[in-house]
Amino acid sequence: MDDDAVSSSGDLDSGTSGVAVLDRAFAIFDAFGSGDDRLTLAELSRRTGLYKSTILRLLGALEHGGFIRKLPDGQYAIGPAPLRLAALYQRSFAVGPVIEPLLQQLSNELGETASFYVRQDNQRLVLYRVEPSRSVRVSIRVGEEFPIDKGASGKVLLAFTEMPDAGRADVRERLWAISRGERDPETASVSVPVFGVVGELVGALTISGPKGRFDSPTTLTTAVKLLLANARRATIALGGLGSRFDVPIAKVEEEGFLVA
């Protein structure tokens, strides 16, 4: 039997759409793992269980549509078309309905101002915010802008929108930042990133309050835990990878109390 002789009767026998050609095309995409930049025809055949001749016909059509690229060395890689579709997928989600309920929950649980910042050039803009009912609180307005080089949310926005920098490596690794008295000498804040469908930064989920209430390691740890958990939820809801938060969350759990 020739090496193309893989029985098609058993191909894709579960979880199919009922349209064989689409199922086989999807199988080619699924063959690429997170660490695969390129695959050979033989490896695609091995991973999909499809004849090489079948794969070649599908690859030709997918290459024509921009979904697959044939590289100079004869291997195959994902083309640019899925990136465009991913961007369309991301825009199909309205950020507000995802973020606003989480801000309300964070503000209720922590008794502090919860906000969501995005970067606007060299400023950080308050896109959404929820304030607690307590009389002593940090008060900010939606649409208000602050310098991006001050505050926990600024640290997060810079860490994930600028070229990697040694000074921001800790924020990129642990996925949280804290500030005390940087913009306003009486306030403190903790912030974490929220990511989108292709791993890009969507914005910074932030808790702010009077500086004295953030002096306790217990308060800081509780705030970081809740922020990371809710940022994970928001990232998943926006089509991103929630697993990006697993290690930082586990590390906070292991350390018990945080001091920054």
pLDDT at 8 over 50: no
Residues 110 and 232 in one domain: yes
Q: C-alpha angle 206/189/150, rounded to 5°?
A: 100
Beta bridge partners of 191: 177, 206
Say how far apart CA 210 and CA 16 lie, in whole Å.
55
- Per-residue model confidence (pLDDT) at position 132: 86
Residues 71 and 149 in one domain: no
Residues 56 and 153 in one domain: no
Q: Is residue 152 part of a domain?
A: yes
Q: Which residues of 212-228 are buried (b: 16+ CB within 10 A; e: fewer)?
A: ebbeeeebbbbbbebbb
Give the single-character DSSP code of 123: E
pLDDT at 137 over 80: no
Across the chain, mean pLDDT equals 87
Residues 127 and 245 in one domain: yes
- Per-residue model confidence (pLDDT) at position 70: 96
Q: Is the dihedral of CA 240, 168, 222, 206 positive or negative?
A: negative
Residues 232 and 129 in one domain: yes
State how many domains the chain has.
2
166 confidence band (pLDDT: 50, 70, 90) = confident
Rounded to an integer, the average pLDDT of 55-67 is 95
Beta bridge partners of 179: 189
- Per-residue model confidence (pLDDT) at position 66: 94
Q: Where residue 131 sits, what CATH number does that domain have?
A: 3.30.450.40
Q: C-alpha angle 35/30/202, rounded to 5°?
A: 65
Q: In which residue are the tokens 């810079």 written?
A: 158
Rounded to an integer, the average pLDDT of 168-189 is 91
111: which 2 tokens? 């008794």
Q: Is residue 3 part of a domain?
A: no
Q: Is residue 2 part of a domain?
A: no
For the ranges 41-45, 199-203, 245-249, 252-256, the lowest mean pLDDT is seen at 252-256
Q: Which residue has the higher pLDDT, 87 or 2?
A: 87
Output the pTM of the full model.
0.66
Q: Count the Cβ atoms, other than its own, within 10 Å of residue 129.
A: 22
Q: Could you read off the pLDDT of 64-119 as tens digits, one per residue? A: 999 999 999 999 999 999 888 877 765 655 688 899 999 999 999 999 999 999 99
Q: Which residue has the higher pLDDT, 58 or 142?
A: 58
Q: Is residue 210 part of a domain?
A: yes
- Per-residue model confidence (pLDDT) at position 133: 79
Q: Give the domain extent around 187.
A: 94-255
User: Which of these three, 49, 79, 109, is where a domain ends?
Assistant: 79
β 76-78/68-70 pair status = antiparallel
Q: What are phi and psi of 22, to 5 degrees?
A: -70, -40
Q: Is residue 87 part of a domain?
A: no
